[in-house]
């Protein structure tokens, strides 16, 4: 592949497919249940399963979260079928167990597989789809009486490194680091992010350096650089060059295995491996070709990586760096006078100059994905990357040294204190940057079409950087115009919207009214006392409507505004009228009952639909999710027999 345009176009076409942009056709092609041997074909109400823990379990206070590979399953007739496929187990912790479940353990369990929770509310996070993209179709909560360990099958190189990873996590937990520092050290060195607390994660995300806590190409590059530096004393003869390359390759892939084979580390490991093999032969393969080759190798080996956010961000960042950084340096080169400076000062200035453009290129290339998945954008990413990222190599090296001297308590304690000091500085700088006003723009709505347009724009920019043509520039400007027009249309939609949604919240009630960029939440006292408790169900809908919640109103509130009027559970909103009926007012009569569009039932009042017709004049009956299943089924049957329109919010 001599033409550099081929790998560029290939990489970005792959990135467009990754997101299953508006249609989701790719996910159906990689549906795990399409395999005839998948356990999903034999799932019943209860199944006996023999499973093997396939990844390092996550220990929580009362449960152990473990991804297991199903080896055998019994069907409804008791026949046992060899099978495959992954299941997510929530194992209730046994207080009398001598040791927790570990990687490679074989379990025999009585399972009641359940599909993960589906999307119940508008624009809510699709957890079922998220797990499906990881190859997991079912989940199950298992009590200690329903499973037992029958052995361990932890053979192979990956099992060895998984065991070593678990031991290193325990070593870091035994150090003098604080819990938050332990979480950072584990994430930085091993890619183990389950011990990170929410505050630390929020600070790194708002500062725009969350990639430091996700083991990626930066960490692999540091390890490869350290390995090359440690072997720099070897001569450049053919045999020693091959020996050095083999040692560097072993070091790189040992680190990749140690970090759980995260998509970012596998991409970087393959890319550095191709470059190292080229150096062993006195040649260096084109970097873009190495990127494209590593992507194809990974997708052939593990097709479901196509949907992994880390995979997408990793390839977008490294492709943007390779294409844009040389162009940035050509546009804004360092003054020639820098070469005459004191050598250490000149070296430092060159590194800062390069780091500035690397951070800028990586952020520009990953910006569409960050907006699409996280709906936020850090404004201080350049400052945070310039300050913290150069410190990452020293910090990672210090953590490695601390773990290496775990057998010597005296040195282990000294290096623990050094790492603690470095992490205090990192935490202080990160939290300070995150606390700046407007450090992060949050709540940005960015849909699939906008992502597609931005990726097309990035492709055109990449082609222009490599070979400038006026036609490409015109296409890029047209794409930018299309993105601007679509953004203005969406802004007009949000500014003029009049809309409401009734949420499915189990035993709670909430109705959201949108008027322009304002939102009114009408809810019961439980939600009103803690509106953030329903953020998981409602945050996506607020982002879609680009609204900020201005009022939180209880159902028994009397409220009047230009857009909304609430009084005695009677609601009027821009021509739509509603009446909320529950146990406190289902028998209440008024001399003049007005006509309402929606009659909303909640709290399972003991009343029939025929009695509702006698007391209320309504067009549609709305059955909220708070009602009992038996009452809901009874009302649905009565509505069907009477020919009354209804909406059932299960």
Q: How confident is the model at residue 281 (pLDDT cuts 50, 70, 90)?
A: low
- Is the model more confident about 374 or about 346? 374
* Contact in structure between 312 and 18 (CB atoms under 8 Å): yes
pLDDT digits (tens, 9 = 90+) for 568-578: 889 999 889 99
Model pTM above 0.85: no
Mean pLDDT of 613-636: 88
Q: Domain ranges in the chain? A: 41-154, 160-262+271-284+325-437, 498-648
Structure-model confidence comparison of residues 2 and 384, the more confident one:
384
| Cβ contact 183:196 at 8 Å | yes
* Mean pLDDT of the 451-473 span: 85
What's the CA gap between 71 and 83, in Å, rounded?
Answer: 5
pLDDT of residue 25: 45
Helices (H), 306-408: 309-331, 343-374, 381-404
Alpha-carbon span 9 to 319, nearest angstrom: 11
- Average pLDDT estimate for 165-177: 86
| pLDDT band for position 1 (cuts 50, 70, 90) | very low
Residue 88 in this model has a pLDDT that exceeds 90: yes
How do 510-515 and 498-502 pair as beta strands?
Answer: antiparallel
In this predicted structure, what is the pLDDT of residue 285?
62
Q: What pLDDT, on a 0 to 100 scale, did the predictor assign at position 54?
A: 86
The three state secondary structure string of 17-83 is HHCCCCCCHHHHHCCHHHCCCEHHHHCCCCEEEEEEECCCCEECCCEEEEEEEEEEEECCCCCEEEC
- Whole-Å CA distances, 219 to 269, 339, 389: 10, 30, 11
Check residue 347 and give its pLDDT.
Answer: 77
pLDDT band at 70 (very low <50, low <70, confident <90, very high): very high
The confidence score (pLDDT) of residue 589 equals 63
Per-residue model confidence as pLDDT tens digits over 205-245: 888 777 777 766 667 777 777 777 777 777 667 777 788 88
Query: In this predicted structure, what is the pLDDT of residue 23?
Result: 41
| Domain 41-154: which CATH number of 2.40.128, 2.40.10, 3.40.1360, 2.40.50 | 2.40.50
pLDDT surpassing 70 at residue 538: yes
Q: What is the pLDDT of residue 345?
A: 78
% of the chain at pLDDT higher than 70: 91
**pLDDT at residue 481, as a whole number:** 95
- Give the pLDDT confidence score for residue 87 in this predicted structure: 92
User: Buried b / exposed e across 284-321, counting CB within 10 Å, b at 16+?
Assistant: ebbbbbbbbbbbeebbeeeebbbbbbbbbbbbbbbbbb
Give me the pLDDT at residue 138, please. 92
The DSSP H or E segment spanning 414 is helix 409-434
Residues 114-165 pLDDT 10s: 988 878 888 888 888 888 888 889 999 998 888 888 888 777 777 777 778 8
Tokens representing 370?
């960050």
DSSP 115: P
Kindly report which listed range (181-190, 306-315, 540-549) carries the lowest average pLDDT score: 306-315
Predicted confidence (pLDDT) at residue 521 exceeds the cutoff of 90: yes
Q: By percentage, how much of the chain surpasses pLDDT 90?
A: 16
d(CA 452, CA 450): 5
| pLDDT above 50 for 407 | yes
Confidence of residue 20 (pLDDT cuts 50, 70, 90): very low
206/376 Cα distance (integer angstroms): 9
Give yes or no for residue 169 having a pLDDT over 70: yes
β-strands 617-623, 595-601 pairing: parallel
Predicted pLDDT at 480: 93
What pLDDT score was predicted for residue 97? Answer: 53
Write down the pLDDT at residue 22. Answer: 42
Structure tokens at 236: 């450049």
């Amino acid at each position: 592949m001599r033409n550099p345009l081929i790998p560029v176009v290939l990489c970005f076409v792959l990135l467009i497919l990754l997101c299953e942009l508006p249609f989701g056709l790719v996910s159906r092609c990689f549906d795990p249940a399409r395999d005839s041997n998948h356990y999903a074909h034999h799932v019943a109400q209860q199944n006996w399963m023999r499973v093997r823990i396939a990844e390092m379990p996550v220990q929580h206070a009362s449960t152990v979260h473990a991804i297991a590979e199903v080896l055998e399953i019994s069907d409804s007739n008791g026949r046992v079928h060899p099978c495959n496929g992954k299941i997510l187990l929530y194992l209730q912790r046994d207080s009398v167990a001598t040791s927790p479940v570990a990687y490679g353990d074989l379990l025999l369990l009585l399972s009641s597989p359940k599909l993960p929770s589906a999307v119940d509310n508008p624009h809510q996070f699709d957890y079922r789809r998220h797990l499906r993209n990881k190859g997991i179709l079912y989940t199950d909560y298992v009590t200690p009486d329903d499973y037992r360990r029958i052995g361990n099958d932890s053979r192979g190189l990956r099992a060895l490194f998984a065991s070593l990873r678990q031991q290193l996590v325990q070593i870091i937990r035994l150090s003098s680091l604080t819990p938050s520092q332990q979480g950072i050290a584990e994430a930085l060195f091993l890619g183990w992010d389950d011990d990170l607390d929410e505050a630390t994660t929020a600070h790194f995300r708002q500062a725009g350096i969350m990639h430091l806590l996700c083991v990626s190409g930066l960490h692999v590059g540091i390890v490869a650089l350290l390995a090359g530096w440690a072997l720099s004393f070897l001569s450049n003869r053919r045999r020693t060059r091959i020996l050095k390359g083999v040692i560097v390759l072993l070091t790189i892939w040992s680190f990749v295995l140690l970090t759980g084979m995260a998509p970012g580390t596998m991409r970087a490991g393959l890319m550095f491996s191709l470059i190292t093999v080229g150096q062993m032969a006195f040649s260096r393969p084109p970097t873009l070709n190495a990127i494209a080759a590593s992507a194809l190798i990974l997708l052939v080996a593990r097709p479901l990586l196509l949907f992994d956010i880390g995979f997408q961000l990793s390839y977008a960042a490294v492709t943007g760096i390779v294409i844009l950084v040389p162009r940035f340096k050509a546009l804004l080169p360092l003054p020639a006078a820098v070469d005459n400076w004191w050598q250490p000062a000149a070296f430092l200035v060159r590194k800062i100059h390069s780091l500035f453009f690397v951070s800028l290129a990586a952020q520009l290339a990953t910006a569409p994905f960050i907006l699409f998945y996280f709906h936020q954008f850090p404004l201080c990413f350049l400052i945070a990357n310039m300050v913290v990222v150069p410190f990452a190599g020293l910090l990672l090296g210090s953590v490695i040294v601390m773990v290496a001297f775990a057998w010597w308590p005296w040195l282990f304690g000294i290096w623990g204190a050094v790492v603690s000091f470095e992490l205090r500085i990192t935490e202080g700088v990160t939290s300070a940057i995150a606390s700046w006003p407007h450090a992060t723009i949050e709540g940005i709505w960015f849909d699939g079409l906008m992502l597609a347009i931005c990726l097309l724009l990035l492709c055109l920019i990449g082609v222009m950087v490599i070979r400038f043509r006026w036609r490409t520039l015109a296409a890029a400007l047209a794409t930018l115009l299309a993105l601007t027009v679509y953004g203005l249309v969406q802004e007009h939609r949000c500014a003029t919207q009049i809309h409401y949604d009734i949420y499915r919240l189990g035993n709670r009630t909430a109705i959201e009214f949108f008027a322009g960029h304002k939102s009114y939440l009408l809810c019961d006292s439980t939600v009103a006392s803690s509106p953030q408790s329903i953020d998981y169900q409602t945050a996506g809908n607020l982002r879609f409507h680009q609204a900020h919640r201005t009022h939180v109103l209880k159902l028994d509130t009397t409220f009047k505004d230009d857009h909304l009027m609430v009084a005695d559970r009677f609601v009027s909103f821009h021509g739509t009228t509603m009446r909320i009926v529950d146990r406190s007012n289902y028998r209440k009569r008024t001399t003049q009952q007005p006509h309402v569009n929606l009659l909303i039932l909640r709290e399972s009042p003991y009343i029939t639909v025929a009695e509702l017709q006698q007391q209320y004049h309504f067009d549609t009956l709305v059955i909220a999710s708070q009602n009992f299943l038996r009452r809901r089924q009874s009302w649905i049957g009565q509505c069907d027999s009477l020919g009354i329109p209804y909406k059932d919010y299960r």
